[in-house]
Amino acid sequence: MTTRRVAAVDIGAGSGRVMLATVSEDHLDLIEVHRFANRPVRVGGTLHWDVLALYAGVLDGLKETAGHLDGEPLDGIGIDTWAVDYGLLGPDGSLVGLPVHYRDARTDGISQKVAATVGAAELYNRTGIQDLPFNTVNQLVAERSGSRLQAAERMLLVPDLLTYWLTGAIGAEVTNASTTQLLDATTRAWDSDLAGRLGIDPGLLPPLRHPGEVLGVLYGDVLAETGLTDPHGGPVPVVAVGSHDTASAVVGVPADRDSFAYVSCGTWSLVGVELEQPVLTEDSRAANLTNEAGVDGTVRYLRNVMGLWLLRESLRTWADRGEEHDLTQLLAAAAAEPAGRWPVDVDHPSLLPPGDMPARIAALCRETGTPEPETPAQVVRCIVDGLAEGHRRAVDDIRRLTGRDVEVIHVVGGGARNTLLCQATADACGVPVLGGPVEATALGNVLVQARALGVDLPDLAAMRALVRRTQELRRFEPATAPTTPGPTAAPRPTRSSRRPTA
Ligand code: LFR
C-alpha cells in the first residue's frame, strides 16, 4: 500500500480552491483548505482575469496546506483551471499584458474570419474542436496585429502560467492545449501549419506535457513563503494533471461501465462521453460537438451547454438591483412551478456575455413567442428546464453520432447538488442520473498525481472505482419515458412524484 498527500489547485470562473488529499489504493479523502474569489476586472473596456490575485490565492492556499500537514511532506501539487485563456510572456519571462477573459467581446465575429481563411470543415477535421467564439485560436487572431503579441515570445495557458510562476517550468499540458483549436486531433501535436496560415507564430506554442509528468519543483522562495519546506529536505514537485478542469472532472466520474455519459456541471455544463478516437465528420461538426483531449489518450467528445452561469448571472443581476435571493430557497420555489412552461434555448449566443440575464431570457421568449417567466422562481425554473433540455439534445446527438448506448448519466461538479436539475435531466433524457461527486475535478486532479507518485491506480477504471467506493452518490430515476420537447413544445404534464429541493 502506498499513501500520498497531494494538493489540488482548482480554479473556476467564479472562485479558486486549494484542496489537500490523502490517496492510497483503497483510500481517498479530500479537504478544502482555502477558497478565494476569482473576480474578473474590466480595464479600458476589456474584461480581464486578475491573474496575480489568483496566484496570491494559490500561495495563500499552499500556506494553509503547510499548516495542515503536521510535519509530513507534501508529495505533489497539481493545477487545473478553466480552459482557452492565456498569458503572454516576453523574452525575459515577464508577463506581457493581463490575460483577457474569454467572455470579452474582442472575439466577436473572429471565428467566421478564421473559418473563411482555413475553411470550417478543414479546421474541424484537423483539430476536432467545436466552433466557440472564445477558442484560443480566435483570441490570438483577434490580437494578431496588437503590440502584446508582437512583444510576446511564449503563450502559456492559465494553469501552465501558474506552474511557471511556481517552478520556472515552461510547457503546455495537452488536455488544455486541445482547447486552443491549434492542436492536431489525431496526432496530438501542435498544428504549426494551421497556426502559420492564421498568422500566429508557431514559436509561441510551448512544448507539450502530459498528465502524470513531473513539471518542476517549487522555487526556494515559494517554499519559504508558504512554509512548505519538506522536513526531509526533498523538493515539492508540481505534477501535470488534466489541467483543463473538465479533463480532471471526467477522470473523477465514478462510472462502472463504458455506456455512460457525463455532465460536468458548473459554470458550464459539459455534456459528453469518453471515446478512444475522435469523431471528425461533417455531421459531428454540424452538431457542434467537440473532441477535447482527455487523460490517458482518451477523447472527451462533448458539447458546451451554457450551464449554471445562467443562474449565477441572474442572481448577480438581482443582487445589483438590491434583491438578494438565496439559491436554495429559489430552487425550492422553482420546483413548485410547472415544468416546461417557459421553454428557452439556453445555448443562444446572446446569453454568453456578462449582463442582465433575466432580461435577455425574457427577450428570447418574446422572440420565439413563448411565455416570459416573471418571478425569480419562474426564471430559475425556466433555466433549469432549459439546461435539462440542452443536456438531452447533447446526449441524443452523441448517441446518434457515435452509435453509443447511454445507460446512465453522471452529473458531477456543483450541479450535482442541484436536485431539481438532476431530476429534470433524468426526466428529459429518459435514463437514470447519478449525482456526484461535487468535487469530481479536484478528485481527478489528485488521483492523476497520486498515480504519478507511485499509488497503484493503473488506469481510469481503477481511479473511478476508488471514487465510487469512497464518495456519496445520489440516484435520480427518470419519471417518464424519454421526452423530446423542442423550445416551442407544450408544457410536459407529468413530473416525478418526488419533490426535489435544492
Ligand atoms: C469549464 C470550462 C469549459 C470551457 C470553459 C471556458 O470550466 O473549462 O470546459 O469550455 O470553461 O474555458
Q: What is the 3-state secondary structure (H, E, C) of 261-317?
A: EEEEECCCEEEEEEECCCCCCHHHHHCCCEEEECHHHCEEEEEEECCCHHHHHHHHH
- Give the confidence band of 481 by pLDDT, cuts at 50, 70, 90: low
Residue 110 confidence (pLDDT) above 60: yes
Ligand 1 touching residue 7 (CB < 6 A):
no
* pLDDT value, residue 499: 35
Residue 480 confidence (pLDDT) above 70: no
Residue whose CA is at the smallest distance from ligand 1 atom 11: 82
What distance in angstroms lies between residue 482's CA and the mean position of ligand 1's atoms? 28
Report how far residue 138's alpha carbon sits from residue 120's, in angstroms, rounded to the nearest whole number.
13
Reading the block at residue 417, the C-alpha cell is 447538488
Which among 15, 107, 246 is the best mutation to test ligand 1's pocket, defined by most ligand atoms within 8 Å of the CB? 246
* pLDDT value, residue 498: 36
* pLDDT value, residue 378: 98
CB neighbours of 220 closer than 8 A, spacing ≥ 6? none
Report how far residue 53's alpha carbon sits from residue 73's, in angstroms, rounded to the nearest whole number.
26
- Give the confidence band of 364 by pLDDT, cuts at 50, 70, 90: very high
Q: Which helix H or strand E contains 168, and what residues bound it?
A: none
Which among 104, 137, 139, 179 is the best mutation to test ligand 1's pocket, defined by most ligand atoms within 8 Å of the CB? 179
For residue range 392-415, list pLDDT tens digits in order: 999 999 999 999 999 999 999 999
What distance in angstroms lies between residue 13's CA and the mean position of ligand 1's atoms? 8
Q: Which of 75, 80, 245, 397 is catalytic?
A: 245
| Count of H-run helices and E-run strands, the chain | 18, 19
Residue 89 confidence (pLDDT) above 90: yes
Residue 488 confidence (pLDDT) above 50: no
Among 68-77, 170-179, 253-262, whose mean pLDDT is lowest? 68-77
For residue range 250-284, list pLDDT tens digits in order: 999 999 999 999 999 999 999 999 999 999 999 99
* C-alpha distance across the termini of the chain, in Å: 39
Residue 219 confidence (pLDDT) above 90: yes
Using DSSP bridges, classify how beta strands 208-209 and 4-11 pair: parallel, antiparallel or unpaired.
unpaired
Percent of the chain with pLDDT over 70: 95
Residue whose CA is at the smallest distance from ligand 1 atom 4: 83
The 10 Å Cβ neighbour count of residue 497 is 6
Residue 79 confidence (pLDDT) above 80: yes
What distance in angstroms lies between residue 31's CA and the mean position of ligand 1's atoms? 24
* pLDDT value, residue 234: 80
Residue 494 confidence (pLDDT) above 80: no
Residue 17 confidence (pLDDT) above 50: yes
Place of cell 413567442: 369
Average pLDDT across the chain, whole number = 94
Q: Which helix H or strand E contains 64, and what residues bound it?
A: helix 51-68
Among 198-212, 231-245, 423-437, 453-467, whose mean pLDDT is lowest? 231-245
Residue whose CA is at the smallest distance from ligand 1 atom 8: 82
Which among 47, 248, 267 is the best mutation to test ligand 1's pocket, defined by most ligand atoms within 8 Å of the CB? 267
Among 202, 201, 197, smallest CA distance to 113 is for 197
Residue 487 confidence (pLDDT) above 90: no
Residue whose CA is at the smallest distance from ligand 1 atom 1: 82
Residue 294 confidence (pLDDT) above 60: yes
Using DSSP bridges, classify how beta strands 408-412 and 433-435 pair: parallel, antiparallel or unpaired.
parallel
Q: Are 278 and 390 in contact (CB under 8 A)?
A: no
Percent of the chain with pLDDT over 90: 93
Q: Are 222 and 241 in contact (CB under 8 A)?
A: no
